[in-house]
Amino acid sequence: MAIRNGLPLIVLQKHVSAGRKIPHWRVASGFDDDRRLVYIMDPLLGYVTMPYADFERVWADHQGTFAVLYPPALRDVVRRAIG
């Protein structure tokens, strides 16, 4: 997994605002398996946590779309982490 290797994921999820579902990018930067939480940097909400089930639900609408930005020196780490 990318996050386990220190690579934050930019994930496309839905955001519900005024009753509308809109596409929304967030940065998933960490997780806590014991508490089943994902640590997120959200441009609208700031630094927040989200339970695994909620994270997966709002990500499912976009079929798990994500991006990883990394410096060239980490290319091998990225290939090992996400293929």
pLDDT at 40: 96
Render pLDDT for 6-48 as a digit per residue (tens, 0 to 9). Answer: 889 999 999 888 889 899 999 999 999 999 999 999 999 999 9
Question: What is the spatial distance between Cα 10 and Cα 59, in angstroms, rounded to a whole number?
Answer: 11
Cβ partners under 8 Å of residue 9, min gap 6: 2, 3, 27, 28, 66, 67, 68
Question: What is the spatial distance between Cα 71 and Cα 78, in angstroms, rounded to a whole number?
Answer: 10
Query: What residue type is assigned to position 82 of the chain?
Result: I
Render pLDDT for 57-76 as a digit per residue (tens, 0 to 9). Answer: 999 989 989 998 888 998 89
Helix segments in the chain, DSSP class H: 52-60, 75-82
